[in-house]
Amino acid sequence: MAAIRGVGSEILQQAYKQATAKPEPQGGGFSARLQELVGEVDRLQDHAGDMQTRALQGDDVAVHDVMIASEEAGLAFSLMVEVRNKLVEAYQELMRMQA
């Protein structure tokens, strides 16, 4: 049986490593990292959708694997929405400080 891993914890760990790492001299930076994380959430949702489709078509897919993929995609999406909300809050706070 595969080891259970924290859903979303890998994304948070990667974001923490990126935030605490020294800035890279080339372009990209924060926006590139956000795009990468959104791409990862999209990949997880696509994978969950593919597994659901395969299960409905009668392929040899375990129901628990489908549920795990669906929950992982849902939690990753929820985490992404919360990060977005915090970024919007931070932006609004900065705008209030400038006024």
What predicted TM-score, i.e. pTM, was given to this entire model?
0.67
Question: Over 80: is that where the pLDDT of 85 sits?
Answer: yes
Q: Give residue 1's pLDDT.
A: 42
Neighbours of 11 (CB within 10 A): 20
Per-residue pLDDT tens digits for 34-78: 899 999 999 999 999 999 999 999 999 999 999 999 999 999 999
Question: Over 50: is that where the pLDDT of 16 sits?
Answer: yes
Question: Over 90: is that where the pLDDT of 19 sits?
Answer: no
Spans of all domains in the chain: 32-98
Exposed, middle or buried, 22 (CB in 10 Å: 0-12/13-18/19+)?
exposed
